Each structure stands twice: as structure tokens, then as C-alpha cells.
Amino acid sequence: MLSELEVDDFIAQKSTFDLLIDARSPKEFYESHIPNAQNFYALSDAEHQEVGTLYKQVSRNDAKILGARYICQNVALHLQEIAKTYKIGSKIGIYCARGGLRSSSIAIILSHIGYQVYRLIGGYKSYRLHVLTYLENFPHHRFIVLGGNTGCGKSELLQTLQPSIDLEKLANHLGSSFGSIKGAQPSQKAFENSICEILCKIDSNAYIFIEAESKRMGKCTVPPLLHERMLQGYRVEITAPLSQRVERILKDYESITPEFFNQAMQIIAPYIKKNAKEAVIIAYEKHDLAEVAKILLVEYYDLVYKKPHHIDFSLDNADEMATLQTLQTLHSQFTSIKNASNQP
């Protein structure tokens, strides 16, 4: 069985697919893809380039024949992997770049074998248009925004609070000069796809926990409407004892390499006093990361932190369980008030 779906219907059924196939090349897939998709490519990176060049510069017919040859070879290998995990009759969603030859070729073969195949009309291009349109018009207005100095435990709180959006996790960046410590970031497209995926699953009337962030998080940019809604949200300022803040960021600083440390120190040099910078470097050379963290928190992060003019609620996070309970109670109260206001 082979069905072709417009993007809205495809997304509505996506959670029912046993397997979601991205038939594009690995390079295209790596840059960004629909969340939870697996890359069973029709053409490898080299094959995709070769066929494209032949199509543009020599002959469209020759390119189609060459592409078909490569697709048959690749599908033969993919079928072995797919059959190991997904039995005949499983529901499979599939897409390529624009809903063309690559996805249709694999979809026809899978459907003839006996899989239930759903192909996305317009391919990944139509999905990206859906994401961008959604992020420009999403209906969620109620955000509980957690602000506070570095290391106060906002990220840890978000891991438990629901519903929530952890932008630092999605961007793989801590939103600071040392923010890229966690490694490579996703592309802007992948970042937006993840945000859209999460928002779509949350009731549009729900209060959503989110951390206060600047517009840019490393190379990722928070969608304008989301950032605007965050600024309009209910602001909770989180505080915590310095000793606990040091303890938290040490978990990240333990993996700092000398090269990364030196690059980060060069970036913050204009914003930290010379004697403080020298003290940080000496502490790092002595492998005293606790002292490094303490100096950076007091002499850099706390000084550059811009506390908002308006704070709705302040909360000390010395006891994380107590903090979570307070925030969950706050969420319940807001939800009750909203539900009461909607009563006839």
C-alpha cells in the first residue's frame, strides 16, 4: 500500500509510523531532518553529486538511468537492515528533498513488498515551510520564564518540570562564552525543527516552563516570536548559594581542554578585570577547577548578567526539591485560574 500525504496529514500521522525514512543523501540528512527520521538514502553523497552534475551538464536521461542504477543498489542493502527490525506490514513514512524520484523509488519497492508506505508530498521542503510558518504563528502565549545567574540550576529544574522547553539542550549550547563546551551545535534548521516538534505536542493553552535566553545561543538563533513571548512571560528569578553554583558548573568544566579554555578566555578578556583574568589562568594551570569556576562566576558571569527590570517572583534554589515543588504549585495555580476563567 502506498499513500501520498500533504504535509499537515503527514505530520498528523507521523507518531503512528513504525519507521520514518529520510531518503536524501547523508550530507543533507546530517544538516537537518524531520525529528526521529532515519537515513536510508537513495543516493550517497558522491552519487548524488555525480547524478546532479550529469543531469545539469550532459543529459537528463543519462542522469535518470545512472540514478536508478545507484538507487537499486542502495535499496538492496537498505532492505536487509529494514527487514531486521520492521516486519512486513509495518507503517513507514518516507520523504526526500522535494518529494521526487528518490523517495518515490524506495516507496514503490517497500509498498510492493507489503509495507504500508506514506510518502510526503513536496518532501522536506514542504516540511520546512510548515516549520517556519508554525514558528511565525504558534498559538502558545503562556510561559513561565526561569531567569537567574549562571549555575543557579535552571537547566536542572527544566529537566523535571513539565511541560517545558530546554533551549540550551536543543541548541547544545550554554548560552555563554564557555557555552560551546558541549561540542558541535545543530544547524539552525535542526534547532527550529526541534522547537516546532516540542511546541506542537504541547496544549496551546498550557503554561510552559522555559529558561530566559538571549536571541543568540552560539550559532543558533531563537525564533523571533518565541523570544518575544518569553519576554512577555511570567518571570521567576532563581538564586542559589555560590558553593552550589560552583558545584553545578564544575560538571561542565571538567571536560575543558587547554585549547578551549584559552580561546574562551580571549573572548571574555574585554569584560573581565586583568587581575581576575590572571587569577583564573593561574588556578587553571594548578588544575584547581573549583577556583576557576568561582572566580569566573563572581568576576565575570555575575557582572555581565543583566537582571530584568521586572521580576514577578524570586525563588532561592538552595533546596532543589523544595524549588520544584514551589514551581509546580505555581503552575497548578495558574492552570486553575485559567480553567476557572474559561467556565461559562
pLDDT digits (tens, 9 = 90+) for 266-276: 999 999 999 99
pLDDT at 343: 58
Asked if 71 and 43 count as a contact pair (C-beta separation under 8 A), the reply is yes
Domains (ranges, CATH) in the chain? Answer: 2-132 (3.40.250.10), 138-341 (3.40.50)
Cβ count within 10 A of residue 24: 27
Averaged over 215-233, what is the pLDDT? Answer: 96
| Amino acid at position 325, single letter | Q
Residues in the chain: 344
- What pLDDT sits at residue 94? 98
The pLDDT of residue 344 is above 80: no
Q: In this predicted structure, what is the pLDDT of residue 68?
A: 93
Question: Exposure pattern of 4-22 as b/e (b: 16+ CB <10 Å)?
Answer: bbebeebbeebeebebbbb
CA–CA dist 29, 217 (Å, integer): 22
pLDDT at 156: 95
Q: pTM here? A: 0.93
pLDDT at 309 (0 to 100): 87
DSSP string, 56-90: HHT-HHHHHHHHHHHHHHHHHHHHHHHHHHS-TT-
pLDDT per residue over 172-199, tens digit each? 998 777 877 878 899 999 999 999 999 9
Q: State the angle between helix axes of 258-268 and 274-285 in degrees (0 to 180), rounded to the nearest 10.
A: 170
What CA dihedral angle connects 292, 298, 301 and 307, to 10 degrees?
Answer: 160
Instruction: Tell me the pLDDT tens digit for each residue of 136-173.
Output: 999 999 999 999 999 999 999 999 999 999 999 999 99
What integer best gives the mean pLDDT of the chain? 95
Q: Which of 96, 152, 196, 220 is catalytic?
A: 96
pLDDT at 251: 85
- The pLDDT tens digits of the residues spanning 70-126 come to 999 999 999 999 999 999 999 999 999 999 999 999 999 999 999 999 999 999 999
**pLDDT 10s digits, 15-27:** 999 999 999 999 9
152 noted as active-site residue: no
The pairing of strands 38-39 and 208-211 is unpaired
Phi and psi at residue 208, in whole multiples of 5°? -115, 130
- State how far the Cα of 225 lies from the Cα of 332, in Å rounded to an integer: 25
> Where do we find the cell 528569578?
237
The residue-averaged pLDDT of 26-44 equals 98
339 has pLDDT over 90: no
